Amino acid sequence: MYEKLRQPKIIFYANDNSMRAAYDSSCKFLYAATLFIPTTDLSLLAILNSKLFNWYAQNKFSNPKIKQLSLTKKNMMKAPIASRTEEQKAELSDLVQQILNDPYNFKVPDLEREIDQLVYELYELTDAEIALIEEETNP
């Protein structure tokens, strides 16, 4: 178990009613009860931080009693993660890497929108489904 903590990983956390995932390439130990996936697959990080996955998490993992997402291993294991070709993985990973390299760049929102569009394509969403997600996930 501890060996997995010493590997690059994606870490999940919830704040209020949204979910975020972060990439830990420094292989540090986690200080709190946090879910993680030992992986270097940045395309998975793209999916987990997409508007589509955030919308899914809000609708499937929401705990109305505490008005917060309930991120559990059981919930995350049930989450539908689209299969990706090597080309799709590379395209998503490249966009994520650009964000990781310079997270304060003014182009980050454009890169995030591009990721969202690619994720919508992965899940073969209709224009109506995309419009619903965009409407429900925009502040």
For 22-126, where are the alpha helices, taking DSSP H only? 42-48, 51-60, 73-78, 86-101, 108-122
Percent of the chain with pLDDT over 70: 87
Q: Does residue 52 contact residue 134 with C-beta atoms inside 8 Å?
A: no
Reported as a single tens digit per residue, the pLDDT across 19-44 is 778 888 877 666 565 778 889 999 99
Q: Does residue 71 contact residue 12 with C-beta atoms inside 8 Å?
A: yes
* pLDDT in the model for residue 71: 78
- What is the pTM assigned to this prediction? 0.85
* pLDDT in the model for residue 101: 96
Rounded Cα distance between 99 and 76, Å, is 24
Largest CA distance in the chain: 45
Instruction: For residue 17, give every residue at least 6 positions away whose Cβ sits within 8 Å of its Cβ, in sequence order, or none.
Output: 58, 62, 67, 68, 69
Other beta carbons within 10 Å of 122: 20
* pLDDT in the model for residue 17: 67
Q: Indicate the pLDDT class of residue 82, thresholds 50, 70 and 90.
A: very high
